[in-house]
Amino acid sequence: MGGLVRTSVYVAILVAGILALLPGRNLQWSGLVRPSNMGFLQIAAGVVTVAGLTIALWCVLAFALVGRGTPLPFDPPRRLVLSGPYRFVRNPMALGVGLALLGVALFYESMAILMFFALFMLVIHAMVTLYEEPRLRQTFGADYVAYCEKVNRWLPHRSIPSEEPDSG
């Protein structure tokens, strides 16, 4: 239960602040305003944004309930999370946040936000390959290596792995 409380605080402060409040302020300061017409692109963008946020929140819940931790580096999951969205791809949280950013870029038809999305994905890729994966290999050993052999970093397999590696 403690992991769920810590995760709720994480979601409330960091996700709401960093993914909603700060970008909203930046949009306001930049003069970018909501499109006057809600066309197909804005509706599709809304679907992409909601899908991305749903995936990211699913990941946060998996960290709390299965991993008994949070997405924060100073309070990481205590168990390797191999279920939920992690069954399809190794970094669904980053993909979810990326999809949400992409949806916002499409909604506002903003090249600047699209460039921010691209920069975000490049930075996340560097963090994953240079920090996160080595740390997970060190922490979870053979279980993580077996997981990496079955599940791709960014793109889901055509067929979903039928069984998860033993998480000890």
Residue in the structure block whose two tokens are 């949280």: 93
Per-residue pLDDT at 124 exceeds 90: yes
Q: Give percent of the chain with pLDDT exceeding 90.
A: 43
Q: Tell me the pTM.
A: 0.78
Alpha helices in 80-132 (DSSP H): 92-108, 111-127
Q: What does the pLDDT look like over 41-65, one tens digit per residue? A: 989 999 999 999 899 889 888 888 8
In whole angstroms, give the CA distance from residue 58 to residue 95. 12
Q: What does the pLDDT look like over 93-114, one tens digit per residue? A: 999 989 998 998 899 888 888 8
In whole angstroms, give the CA distance from residue 158 to residue 156. 7
Q: What does the pLDDT look like over 139-162, one tens digit per residue? A: 999 999 999 999 999 998 765 555
Average pLDDT of span 80-84: 92
Q: Write down the domain spans for the chain.
A: 2-150
